[in-house]
Amino acid sequence: MKTIAIFSEKGGVGKTTITTNLGVSLATKNYRTLIIDMDPQGHVGRIMGVGPTKKGILYFLIRAQVGDEIIKETRIPKLFVVASDWSLADFTVNVAQHPNRHLKLREIIEKIKDKFDIILIDSPPSLELITLNILLAAEGVIIPVALTYLGLVGAAATLRIMAQTKKAFNYSPGVIALVPNMYEETPECKELLQKLREKLGKRMSKTVIRRAPEVDKAQSYSVTVVEMSPESPAAQDFEKLADELILKIGI
């Protein structure tokens, strides 16, 4: 298994943060890693210091262009990024007449798969056809769960979307793990984590990502926290998560 979506229908739960930190961590461990940003906000490119592709991500998805002006090198050796931009918001209209419009991402990944050990897909909060493309392209899914009441509701909704996809398309990627994020040593947080573990048991990751101000600070400097503050709690958790992922998917 090598194509992994970081997926949740809820915004602000840590999808982009987990994607970029995992990407840096995996590449540093010598895995050839590609991040594909499927969120038109384009935050992955901003954090990884990679501008949007000259002609836009639609050239990658629709015209199947895969040159080095689209799959870009980053400052981290072995880490490559397909950056996103607002043209992605026009994806649905652009492929409206294509019979296989839900499989565009899957088809393009099929073409480039052999060049990488792992492909991470960052997801937007909720854009129907893009979400569908992501779920039909991914072999496995990591679902970040913000440790708040609404975060739990968001996780349940995300699992429901995956079940609906399975019903409609007879395919849905496996859940690699639900990853609790923004953990704090408060009674409320502890209780929410306990509840999650009771409900979801083994589907939860062993790793819990702690809330740390260094995460936001690093992003404001356009870097990841594993690069800027490797000794911060969150950075150590991301490294642990990368190790857990490697074991789980067997790369």
The footprint of ligand ADP (CB under 6 A) covers 11-17, 181-182, 209, 211-212, 215-216, 219, 234
Minimum CB distance to Mg ion smaller for 16 or for 224:
16
Minimum CB distance to Mg ion smaller for 57 or for 167:
57
The partner in contact with residue 134, picked from ligand ADP, Mg ion, none with C-beta cut-offs of 5 to 8 angstroms by kind, is none
> Measuring CA to CA, which residue among 140, 138, 139, 178 is closest to residue 158?
178
Which residues make up the interface to Mg ion (CB under 5 A)?
15-16
Cβ 198 to ligand ADP shortest distance, Å? 23
Residues in contact with 109: Cβ distance below 8 Å, sequence separation at least 6, in sequence order: 3, 36, 119, 137
Minimum CB distance to Mg ion smaller for 44 or for 112:
44
3-state SS, 47-88, equals HHCCCCCCCCCHHHHCCCCCCCCCCEECCCCCEEEECCCHHH
Cβ distance 248 to 175 under 8 Å?
Answer: no
Cβ 240 to ligand ADP shortest distance, Å? 13
The Cα 164–Cα 170 span in angstroms is 9
The partner in contact with residue 14, picked from Mg ion, ligand ADP, none with C-beta cut-offs of 5 to 8 angstroms by kind, is ligand ADP
Minimum CB distance to Mg ion smaller for 107 or for 216:
216
